[in-house]
Amino acid sequence: MTNVDVIVIGGGIAGLWTLARLRQSGYDAWLVESSGIGGIQSIASQGIIHGGTKYALGGKLGDSAKAIGDMPGVWNDCLNGAGEVDLSGVEIHTKTQLMWSTRSAVSRVAGFFAGKLMEDRMSPMARADYPAPFNHAAFDGVLYRLNEPVLNTASLMSELYQQLSDFCFKGNVILNADEPTRVTCQDRLSGESLEVNARQIVLAAGEGNESLLGQLHRRAPVMQKRPVHMTLLKSRQLPAVYAHCLSASANPRLTITSTRVDDATCWYVGGNIAETGINRNREEQIQACQKELQEVLPWMGFQQCEWSALMINRTEIQTPGNKRPDSCYVDAHGSVITVWPTKLAFAPRVASEVIGKLSEAGVTPSELQSARPEWPAPELATWPWLNTQWS
């Protein structure tokens, strides 16, 4: 039996960032991941470090926008190698995003966007500076630049894992309700088990938190799922785009990010089309996205594109009406801390709040620095669209 200060269960962005901060703070902390580093949600996210602008599209700076507003600054410090975690090696797709709209849609929020509350978050672009595909003569809308970066999620996970791999272990997690801080890490191939006892455990396994809490016979906290049906299209003719398309509602009509797949540019499309797409099958979702893109970018030809779609479960703390939580969730129940980051951007806040909960519980860093046992390390998760079916 090995004794450590803290065990983090789950190797997504919340678990990795928390492990990094715990190790920096002197805690003897380990992480256990059952599949791949990057988890399910983190690796499949669009990589957007939200600053709350998209939550202000209703014309006011609500609780969600305020809660996440300082996150891009925290991340930018880290990306520049001057923050709480060194992310200077992470590939940045773009340091700024775009927001585009027809003039009729933007008129309802133009005054708000021009106000002092938003001036540090976004700025209008001059027509001469419009990039493709918005530099086409047929585009009659307006374009804003958002001060929110987009990251390569695989690069992000790889960079963190390189720094933390000595403290990460692969295996199925078995918990005991009578001894909640005793963690059994079981090798699914050999059946062998690694027994670890901690002073505190952190459940950061996303959707997996539900079953972990069940093993501990705990009915709270309660998780909710808000799935999205993401659409993908790839072509060598597509320009790289990182942009939100405004709509008549408070949510972006489309949110497009880009990556490279099979030597082609691949658009990864979220936004309202993904929210409403959970009631459509794969073919229906692709057709709906094709229709949307033709309406908002009618001068572009998408006939040569290959298409796919992915259903992704977003897991969060339960809220009334299954609404999106305004912020991340971190709470302690005895020796168990449960977290759901809500957004990729909230990972730094999750880690800070976990350390705060440990301090409140009187769990300070010990003098322990446990030697790593002979045990398999997890692999890096791969983007789900690398294994999807294209048509």
Query: Which regions in the chain score pLDDT beneath 70?
Result: 54-66, 102-120, 249-250
- Return the half-sphere exposure (C-beta side, CA atoms, 13 A cut-off) of residue 74: 19
Distance set, CA 58 to CA 71, 88, 249, 253, 271 (Å): 21, 35, 7, 13, 15
Q: What is the pLDDT of residue 65?
A: 65
> In b/e form, how buried is each residue of 281-295, taking b as 16+ CB within 10 angstroms?
ebeebbebbbebbee
Q: How far is it, in rounded angstroms, from Cα 100 to Cα 97?
A: 10
Asked if 376 and 170 count as a contact pair (C-beta separation under 8 A), the reply is: yes
This prediction's pTM: 0.95
Q: All domains of the chain, ordered by start, with CATH?
A: 2-43+155-225+318-386 (3.50.50.60), 95-148+227-312 (3.30.9)
Residue 385 phi/psi, 5° resolution? Answer: -75, -10
Element containing residue 308 per DSSP (H, E) = strand 306-312
Q: What is the pLDDT of residues 251-305, one digit of tens each?
A: 899 999 999 999 999 999 999 999 999 999 999 999 999 999 999 999 998 999 9
Three-state secondary structure call for residue 322: helix
Q: Are 285 and 365 in contact (CB under 8 A)?
A: no
Coil/strand/helix, residue 27: coil
Give the pLDDT of residue 101: 86
Q: What's the confidence (pLDDT) of residue 251? A: 81
| Residue at token pair 């936004």 | 271
Is residue 16 a contact partner of residue 160, using CB atoms and an 8 Å limit? Answer: yes
For residue 26 the two structure tokens come to 């002197």
Q: How many Å apart are CA 230 and CA 337, to the nearest integer? A: 31
Q: What is the pLDDT of residue 63?
A: 61
- Asked if 90 contacts 83 with a C-beta cutoff of 8 angstroms, the reply is no
Predicted local distance difference test score (pLDDT) of residue 152: 98
